[in-house]
Structure formats: structure tokens, C-alpha cells
Amino acid sequence: MTPELLALLRSVDTPTVCNAIEVAQGKRGFNAFTRGTMLINDPVGVVVGYASTAKIAAITPPSEPADVIRARRMAYYKQMAEAPKPSVCVVEDEDYPHAIGAFWGEVNTTIHKGFGLSGTVTNGVMRDLGDMAPDYPVVAGSIGPSHGFVHVTELDGPVTIFGLTVSPGDLVHADQHGAVVVPPEVIDHLAQAITKMQETEQLVLGPAQEAGFDFARFEKAWANFERART
């Protein structure tokens, strides 16, 4: 991913990327996206980067020895600190849909931002909404007050977030709408696809914003739009 593409992806929302992927593929039917409504701590935040993955749980205390749990947590932080940049922390809460342990709050957002990660995508819980690290978006499954018995259970493997399977190294784009995994084969074509999609939408948006817009003008604009879109 070039610096130019990274800057472009950070400037657009996730629905734009979702549509552009279909433009790049030349067909409808792309389905590597989250399902359902997710929450975000920053409504204008955009998360872009390669996935560094883990799993957590919090409802019950861990059954493994304390030294094992601590070693895994330190290994988790080392993995996140050394993840290839730009990177996104993607964490599956195994307690979902009954997750209660807020792993994401003031402390962890500050730590992960300090490590240079661009944000987090999780089906788990966030808290400390007024004190989370600025410019560190967290796209989460819920908001709650407790950390429960939160502990890391697994590192660096496939995770599932709201129906989306994410593997380590996947290119993720996420915002207030949810998240997508960008197929590797479209990355080199994505900038062109975004430009094409935006130009195609203007075939309708432009006339619709002009004075005197009526059904006749709409019908003509829509015909042009249908001919151009995927």
C-alpha cells in the first residue's frame, strides 16, 4: 500500500471503500463486511491498516495460572507494538453477544496509540468515553462500565467480528458504519476504483443539487448513472 493510497483511504468512509471494491472487481456481491450496528468513540474517525489479531474473554476468571495469563498479555502487547504499520488492532471478545469486560478505555487506547496503531475493531466493550486517547478510533460492539475478568486468550489467529472473519495481515477499513476487509487482488486498483465510483455518483448528485431539478432531469441523470455504475 502506497502512502498515497493510505492517505486516500483515510479520507473516505467505509461505504465508499465497500462500493469501490465492487467497482474494482467489476461485479456486485462483495461480502467481507461486518453485519449489524457497531459503535464508535469518534464519529469522524477512520481506521485503516493491516490487522493484528487477538481474542479475549471476561465473564469468568481465567482458569490458567496467573503467570501464564501475564505472559500471554505481555506477548499481546509486544505483538501490537511490533505489528507492521499501518496496523489495526482487531480483537474478538469470546463472550459476545454477552460481553461485559471493557478492554478498551483510557489506558488501552493510550497504550495502543503510543504503539502507533491506527485504531481498534472489536465485538467487545469500550468505556471511559470522555477519556479515551484522542484520534484513536475504536469500533466496538457495546459500551459498559466494567472490565470484568478480562484477559487475553489467543494471539495472532483468525477472529470473527460481527460476522466478518479477519486474519492477521488483512487490510481493514473501518468507521462508524462498521468494517471491511479489502481483498488483496484489488489493492492496486482501489484508488482508481474510488475515483470512478465518486465520478459515477456525481452523474446523479450533480443534477440533483442544481436549480430546476425535476423528474425529467432525474430520469436522464439516472440513465447515465445506470450505464456507468457497476
Domains, in order of start, for the chain: 1-30+185-230 (no CATH), 33-182 (3.50.30.40)
> By percentage, how much of the chain surpasses pLDDT 90?
95
Give the span between the Cα atoms of 182 and 30, in whole angstroms.
10
* Cross-strand bridge partners of residue 175: 178
Lowest-pLDDT range of 73-87, 125-139, 142-156, 216-230:
216-230
Average pLDDT over residues 36-47: 96
Give the span between the Cα atoms of 132 and 106, in whole angstroms.
4
DSSP state of 133: P
Contact 34, 162 (CB under 8 A): yes
Give the span between the Cα atoms of 97 and 115, in whole angstroms.
29
- Cα torsion for 116, 122, 128, 130, to the nearest 10°? 70
pLDDT at 230: 54
Digit-coded pLDDT (tens) for 198-212: 999 999 999 999 999
Give the span between the Cα atoms of 94 and 223, in whole angstroms.
48
In 3D, which of 115, 118, 140, 114 has the Cα closest to residue 129?
A: 140
φ, ψ of residue 97 in degrees (nearest 5): -90, 15
In 3D, which of 79, 126, 82 has the Cα closest to residue 107?
A: 126
The DSSP H or E segment spanning 106 is helix 106-114
Average pLDDT over residues 145-167: 98
Give the span between the Cα atoms of 55 and 92, in whole angstroms.
5
The sign of the dihedral angle between the CA atoms of 128, 133, 135, 138 is: negative
Q: Give residue 157's Cα distance to chain centre.
A: 17
Count the residues in the chain.
230
83 confidence band (pLDDT: 50, 70, 90): very high
Q: What's the pTM? A: 0.94
Average pLDDT over residues 123-135: 97
Give the span between the Cα atoms of 206 and 117, in whole angstroms.
37
Contact 169, 101 (CB under 8 A): no
Cell numbers given for 13: 468512509
* Cross-strand bridge partners of residue 55: 92, 154
Mean pLDDT of the chain: 96
